Homo-oligomer: A and B are copies of this chain.
Amino acid sequence: MRESRSGQSTESSAPVTPKGRSSKEALLRAGGLVAERRGIAGLSVAAVTREAGLAKATFYVYFPDRESFIDALHQRFYKDVNEAVAAAVLGLPPGRAQLLAAIEAYLDVCLENRAVKALVFETRAQSSLTTTMEEREAMFVQLAEPCTRAMKLKPAQVFARLAVALASETALIEMESARKVPGARKAIGALLAAPAQPHATKLERRAH
């Protein structure tokens, strides 16, 4: 509403000293740990500040309320993903190769941000999404759609959503074993290799 200087609505006030910055950082890091252990329902202000070793009231020095804090965690994750994906697809034209490269980059970032990815997955299901959070969610599909379109998969948007779902499920598989699962990554490639011929579903290819 007010936010005179920065314009970032997820921050109560930006810290100006190094100590302040590190406290805010500590809160966000603690948020990741708590989210991993207790999920979104357990992501209380009390739990986060306890984990960070700060007083509850300190939380409100850096974030206007709980929702903004969750949004900030969300935002961070997507910033990481965006950068990694952008770097990975650099120079690749929309199509299967670009889509798979983007998914690979996404999976790598998920592995580095296990805690937050879990939170993202939870948040997705709930109606408690901020408008900005919903927009970030839709981003993936928007990014994938030109690829499915170039692959002549119709309807392109539906295939884009399904591709994102495959990536998301694979991220979960990898989170469970806490490492890359090449079999799963290859599986995505195999499924997305299907030619979109209308009669494909009625044909048996291998079995004579």
Contacts and interface: CB of A to CB of B under 8 A. Distances in A.
Interface of A: 38-42, 96, 100, 118, 121-122, 124-128, 152-155, 158-159, 161-162, 164-166, 168-170, 173, 181, 183-184, 186-196, 200-201, 203-206
Nearest to A124: B125
Contacts of A128: 39, 41
A176 to B, nearest CB: 10
Residue from A121, A122, A162, A195 with most neighbouring chain B CB atoms (10 Å): A162
A187 B158 contact: yes
A57 B126 CA distance: 28
Nearest to A164: B169
A101 to B, nearest CB: 12
Contact of A189 (B153, B166, B188, B201): B201
Contacts of A187: 153, 155, 158-159, 162
Contacts of A190: 153, 194, 196, 200-201
Contact of A205 (B127, B162, B166, B193): B193
